[in-house]
A and B are shown apart, each in its own frame.
Chain A
């Protein structure tokens, strides 16, 4: 009890280490961002600069959203030492339910007619409800009936894929409601002005969070970073946010499309008029979900219990945590995220198809694992999983642009997954965490 001597080795560390320690940056996150930048630069070189264009970055972000949304939920699932193999199939079922709601149930049975303003919100709510119920059911089978998660969700993989098929009689359903399609990506964006407003709000929120965290530490008389370190971090965040907005704004809407939108409103387009897409609604959705999930993970009891139960299930139980109910909640969150992801995926296609979300379970698990979620439980971050999804998508679309055939793409992605986990193991051994 008296041998707490940890500050002894502090001065012997190198200055580089000290710089990172002063900034209190997660070195693992830094490594992932580094890997991501390397991937981008390599593909940019191989494609003669076509990879890092506003157009491709825009496409990359909207392609990442669906998997990234589910990956945030998969972090909770894996942190509690479970796995969910059914997310792709569950996505398909939710997508089928929402597609049938907006093309058959609401317009015909309920008599709202097509393109009624209530159709999109009601369809989305139904889908989310279905996702929540199915996810909670999985959680109940796992938590209360103690059937292993691997088996329950392997069963779910078969069941829900084909429930989706049954609901639609195996048909492709569409086109989907036009309001619904706004959440798909290119069909719904904030536009330049609102994108800047969004970016400015994000900067203000980030800086406020930094200041609030510092104040709270000062109030309890904890050590704080030097002010310059706070300023550096705030500066990097500001540049990153506004840079991202600038890039998405720089992707211009084709003039033919602009002309059409003016014509629809009975106007003629002024000479030389241009407009950028700005931030897609689906990306805004991902950012909102990510913030909610991060707050859930770090600032609520639920999140604390998820990590405690993953670190030591017995200790959690003995501390009075209802671990079985916790499993239900974790899988319910996963189900809800599958439904939200189904909105984005089907809206992007503008149709519900039978094979929607096929193999997504593997991409989602891979994204979470590349993002540093340990299958042994207790360790994982939401932002890591999103970055993992982004890295996977960059690899895949980069290879497609270079002209690598799909089978070879999958070979590379598979190798990268295994390699990423090995590097992670080495990293954890060296840092002893």
Chain B
């Protein structure tokens, strides 16, 4: 079984001589493993939305004074917040691993006069930036630096 999709979604600007069937998507398209991974990648938008709003609340509390700040710190010790932050961390790692793997494939052959670095080098640079930024933030927010 399949259902119709937008028939113009993939249509060329000018109709060709060859007749083609209207595009359709299988009813259970989401059950294919590669589609599940793709949809999960999109669904991480839920955790990103929630954590963005949560950080807005954190920064707002920091500007509101010590009492509001202590309230946030106390709430963050609750099991619900700990589970939420663990889930967000998992989804961020998933996005990072998938996106940094895709990134080199999406590069143009030339950026101005220069060519982008080879794929493995680009991936290594992304992972180094990821690890470096994480380390610096942990050291600063964790009280080791400055």
A and B: interacting chains: no
A residues in contact (CB < 8 Å) with B: none
B residues in contact (CB < 8 Å) with A: none
